[in-house]
Every structure is written in C-alpha cells, then in structure tokens.
Amino acid sequence: MYSKVAAHLSPSPESVSAVNAWLSANGIQGTTGGAHGDWVKASVPVSKANIILAAEFGEYYHKPTGSVSIRTMSYSLPVELFRHIDVVNPTTSFGVLPSGRSLFSSP
C-alpha cells in the first residue's frame, strides 16, 4: 500500500527535470525534500523572486503579533511549468493558526 501512495505522490522524472532546469537557468540551486521528493526548497533574494515569478513581494505587518511576512498578492510561472508545479510558497498565503499565532516567523 505504501509503495502505491509513494508512487502517486512522487513527481515524475519529467517534472523533476523541468523544475530543476528552470531553477538552474535562473542561477538557483534547489534541494529536493519531502518524504516522496515532492517539493523543492530554494532560497533566493526577493529581487530575484520578483523577476522569475513576475511578482512584487513586499513586507506585510500583522499588528496583533507584530510579525512581518514577505509576501506578494500574485505570481506567475512559465506556462511550461504549469503541469509540474502545484504551488510556490511562501507567496500569497497569509495564514494564521487558530491560536492566533502567525504561521510565519518574523525576520
């Protein structure tokens, strides 16, 4: 059963190749993670994220907690990556835990 779930959650070799090629073409080194290699972590300066994601990241303040999050209201991916990437995070999410704590840590 586990192998069937893993096979379903694991990205295809084509997806891994497409995402890694895009990151590499933009001078970004990604690290694969997740139990099934189903996500990629990459750290980039905001200025580069703005360019490659056609975004406008900015600082957003949560007054009750004093936390600051770097987010954007929208972003874009190249059309050839649409079927390979489900979500880019953190981008547009401003979630708050039920206890009132922010999901994001202050810089």
pTM of the model: 0.77
Distance CA 87, CA 26 (A): 18
The per-residue pLDDT for range 2-26, each reduced to its tens digit, is 677 777 778 999 999 999 999 999 9
The per-residue pLDDT for range 34-89, each reduced to its tens digit, is 888 889 999 999 999 999 999 999 999 988 888 899 999 999 999 999 999 999 99
Examine the pLDDT at 106 and tell me if it is beyond 50. no
- pLDDT for 99 equals 55
As a whole number of Å, the end-to-end CA separation of the chain is 41
